Amino acid sequence: MDLSVIGIDSNFSLVDWCIVVGYLIIIVAVGVYIKRYISNVTDFIVAGRGLKTFLAIATMIGTELGLVTVMYSAQKGFTGGFAAFHIALAASIVTLVVGLTGFIVVPLRRMKVMTIPEFYERRFGRGVRILGGTILAFSGILNMGMFLKAGSIFVMGITGMTEDIHLKIIMSVLLGMVLLYTTLGGMVSVVVLDYIQFVVLSFSLLAASLLSIRYLGWQNIIDTVSELKGSAGFNPFDSEGFGVSYVVWMFFLGLVSCAVWQTAVIRACSAENTRTVKKIYTWASIGFLIRFLLPYFFGICAFVYISQHESLKSIFIPDAGSVDSQVTLMAMPVFLSQILPAGFIGIVSAGMLAAFMSTHDSYLLCWSSVLTQDVVAPWFKKGLSSNTRLLLTRIFIVAIGIFILVWGLWYDLGQDLWDYMAISGAIYFTGAIALLVFGLYWKRASKIGAYLALICGFGAIIGLKPIQALLGMDVSSAIVGLTVIALAIVVMVVGSLLFPDRSKPSKSKE
Amino acid sequence: MNFWINFWTIFFIASLALFAGMAVVVTIGGFFNIRSLFKGLTNRVNQQEESPHKDDD
């Protein structure tokens, strides 16, 4: 999309390019330097379980506040208005409750597991671990499949670039840099870089919010959303907007994001002790709030800005017909490229690109660890040596990197990015939530119940638009997700009651 | 609709203030945590070099 033909040029200048390139070189160099501190697989995957409270909070928020989060949240703010704030509120409330009670995460840390499927083996046996690990890795890798696309759309919008080939080169270079320091430094480099990213991104996003309010005016923002979206732009329960089922679905997603999703749980597993776990989650509830809230606000501001510029309005908010998901994704970066001054836009972009890399490194590390620890290693009765596991993890990191490069450039999204993320994640978490909750808190939960819940959870794949198109159906992702969660719980309970375990699975040695 | 406008306005301002405070605290606290993490890892690497047969935990 070339906006220069309608007189819209980005403020992104040579100074901004220098800031971005300089920043990225420094953080990759730091990541590579950290390799010297890695002595074994525990250091590599959970940083030697040495994370103290503040660093753990910074790294948790640093991971979750990625560029992809900013992109899909801004898109929701653009399409949903202030009503989208309910997603941030739900995420924050649920994370706070998990922090205060230690629900799910404290028992997991107490068991000293590195991955959730490792818990499956301790509780339900080796077969459940392998199946759970396979589904988790499949869902997680599919979930991050759109990251590169979202990143490339951001770069395109903020810099004003229009050539597809330039973008593909930049995204490939970024991915190469992530692969380099993730394969070398593991979790230690991830947490240090997440910390740097947290600092840069927190302050630049706060400043960008204040600049947006100053530029557009708070009352103008409220009045424009009110005029163009009506009640649905503010009331999340309004059936013209999100509706009740969507709000309930968001509370489930809030719980999943903080307590069931492996990339968040691995932070709990890396914490120094269970007291630290509770502290991390209590503090991180503010981070989980902000990671959605600020991008939603940028999306709302983009909506207001674009609606007041006729030339942009005809592209992003046409009077008739629906707009492609890829176009609404670009609204926020285009808005930021217009209102942020040269120099500052470079800092924000550097922070965002660092966030892009930081999310990639955490996810790559996470899914490759799951494949190594939970899918491959359990097949070897004598176990795998630390060095072999390290090598395997590094090979999987590269393989996943190649997959997401191809998938991100090929897959046709067809729905809001947030809904794609939610439903691809649901393939794993709808079953996992039943296994975790019942496995941790119900003694009668059995292996057969666990298998059934995992298989049932896989059914969430029908929430993806291309799958629905194949099946000739059109159901909202919220309805699909909630139905599958309810079914997974039912089959877990019924399966456990009908087929109880004869003997308790033996504890595995890692 | 007025209820929701007021609610989200207060919610947004309060959240920004809360996050600004947290960002300052976590930035300072995190810096000291990183120092402590590296101290611990350096000790582990040194121990590993002294007894190379000891694998991970």
Helix (H) or strand (E) holding A317: none
Nearest to A57 among B26, B36, B56 (CB): B26
DSSP SS3 for A396: helix
8-state DSSP, A505: P
User: In this complex, do A386 and B34 lie within 8 Å of one another by their Cβ atoms?
Assistant: no
DSSP SS3 for A51: strand
pLDDT values of chain A reduced to their tens digit, one per residue, 510 residues:
666 666 677 788 889 889 888 887 887 777 777 766 655 555 555 555 556 778 777 877 777 777 888 888 999 999 999 999 999 999 999 999 999 999 988 988 888 887 788 899 999 999 999 999 999 889 889 888 888 778 878 888 888 877 777 767 777 877 777 777 666 656 666 677 778 888 888 888 899 999 999 999 999 999 999 999 999 999 999 988 899 999 998 998 888 888 888 777 877 777 778 888 888 888 888 888 988 999 999 999 999 999 998 888 888 888 776 777 778 888 999 899 889 998 888 988 888 887 787 777 778 888 888 898 888 988 887 778 878 888 888 899 889 988 888 887 777 766 778 888 888 888 888 888 999 999 999 999 999 999 999 999 988 888 887 888 888 888 888 888 899 999 999 999 999 999 998 765 544 443
User: In this complex, do A55 and B41 lie within 8 Å of one another by their Cβ atoms?
Assistant: no
DSSP SS3 for A409: helix
User: In this complex, do B37 and A55 lie within 8 Å of one another by their Cβ atoms?
Assistant: yes
Per-residue CA distances from A503 to A111, A452, A497 (Å)? 20, 19, 15
Contact A148, A173 (CB under 8 A): no
- Name the interface residues of B facing A (CB cutoff 8 Å): 1, 4-5, 8-9, 11-12, 15-16, 18-20, 22-23, 25-30, 32-34, 36-38, 40-42, 44-45, 48, 55-57
pLDDT of residue A510: 38
E strands in A343-501: none
Handedness of CA A229, A230, A234, A238 (dihedral sign): negative
- Taking the C-alpha atoms of residue A125 and residue A485, their distance in angstroms, rounded to an integer, is 22
A 393-432 near B (Cβ less than 8 A): none
Nearest to B44 among A48, A226, A230 (CB): A48
- Taking the C-alpha atoms of residue A385 and residue A388, their distance in angstroms, rounded to an integer, is 5
User: In this complex, do B56 and A40 lie within 8 Å of one another by their Cβ atoms?
Assistant: yes
pLDDT of residue B54: 47
- Taking the C-alpha atoms of residue A59 and residue A297, their distance in angstroms, rounded to an integer, is 23
Query: Is the full-model pTM beyond 0.90?
Result: no
Greater pLDDT, B3 or A175: B3
- Taking the C-alpha atoms of residue A39 and residue B49, their distance in angstroms, rounded to an integer, is 9
Shortest alpha-carbon distance between residue A53 and chain B (Å) = 8
- Taking the C-alpha atoms of residue A336 and residue A215, their distance in angstroms, rounded to an integer, is 11
User: In this complex, do B45 and A36 lie within 8 Å of one another by their Cβ atoms?
Assistant: yes
Per-residue CA distances from A297 to A90, A237, A355 (Å)? 16, 19, 18
Nearest to B15 among A234, A289, A385 (CB): A289
Contact A387, A44 (CB under 8 A): no
DSSP assignment string, A320-372: SS---HHHHHHHHHHHHHHHSPTTHHHHHHHHHHHHHHHHHHHHHHHHHHHII
Tokens of A206: 């706060």
For residue range B8-56, what is the model confidence (pLDDT) as tens digits? 999 999 999 998 998 999 899 888 888 887 777 677 667 766 665 544 4
Shortest alpha-carbon distance between residue B14 and chain A (Å) = 11
User: In this complex, do A195 and B36 lie within 8 Å of one another by their Cβ atoms?
Assistant: no
- Taking the C-alpha atoms of residue A256 and residue A263, their distance in angstroms, rounded to an integer, is 11
Cβ-Cβ contacts under 8 Å for A335 (sequence gap 6 or more) = A298, A301, A302, A305, A306
DSSP SS3 for A50: coil
Contacts of A216 in chain B (CB under 8 A): none
User: In this complex, do B19 and A289 lie within 8 Å of one another by their Cβ atoms?
Assistant: yes
User: In this complex, do A199 and B18 lie within 8 Å of one another by their Cβ atoms?
Assistant: no
The interface pTM score, or ipTM, of the predicted complex is 0.80
Rounded (10°) angle between helices A344-370 and A126-143: 160
User: In this complex, do B30 and A55 lie within 8 Å of one another by their Cβ atoms?
Assistant: yes
* Residue A111 φ/ψ, nearest 5 degrees: -80, -10
User: In this complex, do B5 and A226 lie within 8 Å of one another by their Cβ atoms?
Assistant: yes
Contacts of B42 in chain A (CB under 8 A): 37
Contact A290, A65 (CB under 8 A): yes
| A37 close contact with B: CB closer than 8 A | yes
